Amino acid sequence: MPATGDVLRPHAENEFAHELAALAACDTRQRPPRWHLSPWSVVNYLMGTTLADGTIISAKYVGSRRLMEVAVATLATDRALLLLGLPGTAKTWVSEHLAAAISGDSTLLVQGTAGTAEEAVRYGWNYARLLAEGPSSAALVPSPVYRAMEHGSIVRIEELTRMPSDVQDALITVLSEKVLPIPELGSEMQARPGFNLIATANNRDRGVNELSSALRRRFNTVVLPTPATVDEEVLIVTQRVAALSNMLTLPAVTTSADEIRRVVTVFRELRSGQSEDGRIKFKTPSGTMSTAEAISVMVQGIAMAAHLGDGSLRFDALLSGIESTVVKDPVHDTVVWREYLDSLPIR
Task: Tell which residue, 298, 297, 288, has the closest CA to residue 257.
Answer: 298
51 within some domain: no
111: enclosing H helix or E strand = strand 109-111
Are residue 106 and residue 166 in the same domain, yes or no? yes
Residue-number span of the structural domain to which 333 is assigned = 230-346
The CATH number linked to 194 is 3.40.50.300
Structural domain count of the chain: 2
Domain boundary among the residues 223, 253, 269 is at 223
> Does 178 share its domain with 289?
no
Are 128 and 165 in a shared domain?
yes
Last residue of a domain, one of 162, 189, 223: 223
Largest alpha-carbon pair distance within the chain? 76
The pLDDT value given to residue 346: 44
pLDDT band for 347, please (50, 70, 90 cuts): very low
Q: Each residue of 22-70: pLDDT tens digit? A: 999 999 999 999 999 999 999 999 999 999 999 999 999 999 999 999 9
Of 223, 248, 266, the residue that ends a domain is 223
**What average pLDDT does range 108-133 have in this prediction?**
93
pLDDT value at residue 189: 96
Q: Closest Cα partner for 153 from 89, 87, 99, 225?
A: 99
Question: What band does 314 get if pLDDT is binned at 50, 70 and 90?
Answer: confident
- The answer on 81 and 121 residing in a single domain is yes
> Both 88 and 217 in a single domain?
yes
Instruction: Check whether residue 177 and residue 83 sit in a common domain.
Output: yes
pLDDT (0 to 100) of residue 345: 54
Q: What is the pLDDT of residues 212-222, one digit of tens each?
A: 999 999 999 99
Asked whether residue 246 is domain-assigned, the answer is yes
What is the pTM for the complete model shown? 0.90
Q: Are 91 and 205 in a shared domain?
A: yes
Q: Which long-range contacts (CB under 8 A, 24 or more apart) does 251-259 make?
A: 251/306, 251/307, 251/311, 252/306, 252/311, 253/302, 253/305, 253/306, 253/311, 253/312, 253/313, 254/311, 254/312, 254/313, 255/298, 255/302, 255/313, 256/313, 259/313, 259/314, 259/315, 259/318
How far is CA 165 from each of CA 92, 93, 156, rounded to the nearest angstrom? 21, 25, 18
